[in-house]
Amino acid sequence: MAVADRPGPGSLTWRLMGDIRGLLLAAATLVLQVAHPTVGVAVDQHSDFVAHPWRRLLRTMHSSIRFTYGAGPVAEAEAARLRRVHEGIRGFDPQGSPYSALDPQATAWVHLTLGRFGAEIQRVFATPLPRPELDAFLAEWRQVGRLLGVDDALLPRDWGAFGDYFDDMVDNTLEDNAAVRDVLRSVAGPIAPSRLFPAAAWRPVAQRAGDLTTLFTVGTLPAGLRHRLGLVWSPDDEARLRRRSAMIGSAVTRLPAPLRYYPQIAPHAAAAWWRQRGG
């Protein structure tokens, strides 16, 4: 795919993917990804997530910024770098079966969960996107997938087909595994972003951050997967999630457009926001 075919300014992709509220949904998306057997074993055997979760988070964020918002050469270089990195991630699962991080089904799943992440931000914190916009966004995200080398034949053609695919994956493919448990533990008890951070000062921050992130992580997972993972979720939890979502959604909506996005992409995302409103 020519990089010029990627979604650009004015696209739904540029408007949705950099929303800063997504930080609270990132862990749920990661759980969905590593619950895929191939992704889970690859992360368990090759990733430094447990030892350096902040470093891993920042690398992932910077990578997605480059291939989504970067200029043509930047996006192409990042897509090529990702393919090179994943070529070396291979091995054998606990049952002795070979796996590769470039498995087409696994790469399609990871890519599609990232697309779902963009739509989920609106569903959880604002107004769910109408079906025509969901279809348009998925079409754009398919373009990004082509840049990354995702098998286009494995990507659903519209949001209805994606919903069927997603439900089938949750019901018949996703599993509880070591990588899932590592992510959940990291969410519940986040380590300090730097060794220079005093332990006494970090402890109360970690407690509050862990409680909030756990609420959004568990609450936004599909109910079937929550049950399979043995995660408790009550009507009181649901009510608390709705209150927090409304409060955070309202607070961010009041911010000037550039402040609603990750700092590295604020100019790009704000431009898309204004174009969408005819500004």
pTM to 2 decimals?
0.90
Interval 19-38: pLDDT, tens: 899 999 999 999 999 999 99
Instruction: Provide the pLDDT for residue 278.
Output: 56
Instruction: Provide the pLDDT for residue 89.
Output: 94
- Give long-range contacts, CB 8 A cutoff, 24+ apart: 272-276: 272/9, 272/10, 272/11, 272/14, 272/15, 273/15, 275/9, 275/10, 276/10, 276/15
Interval 157-202: pLDDT, tens: 999 999 999 999 999 999 999 999 999 999 888 877 767 677 778 7
Instruction: Provide the pLDDT for residue 259.
Output: 81
Q: Which domain does 258 fall in, by range?
A: 3-276
Average pLDDT over residues 260-278: 62
Overall number of domains in the chain: 1
Instruction: Provide the pLDDT for residue 10.
Output: 80
Instruction: Provide the pLDDT for residue 57.
Output: 75
- On the question of pLDDT at 140 being above 90, the answer is yes
Average pLDDT over residues 90-115: 95
Can you tell me which residue has the tokens 């448990």? 181
Lowest-confidence region among 126-130, 138-142, 162-166, 192-196? 192-196
- On the question of pLDDT at 55 being above 80, the answer is no
Lowest-confidence region among 45-54, 61-70, 217-226? 45-54
**Residue 216: pLDDT band by 50, 70, 90 thresholds?**
very high
Q: Name every residue whose Cβ is closer than 8 Å to that of residue 171 and which is 6 or more positions away in sequence.
A: 224
Distances (CA, A) of 2 to 15, 72, 101, 112, 145: 21, 9, 24, 20, 12
Average pLDDT over residues 204-227: 93
Instruction: Provide the pLDDT for residue 177.
Output: 96
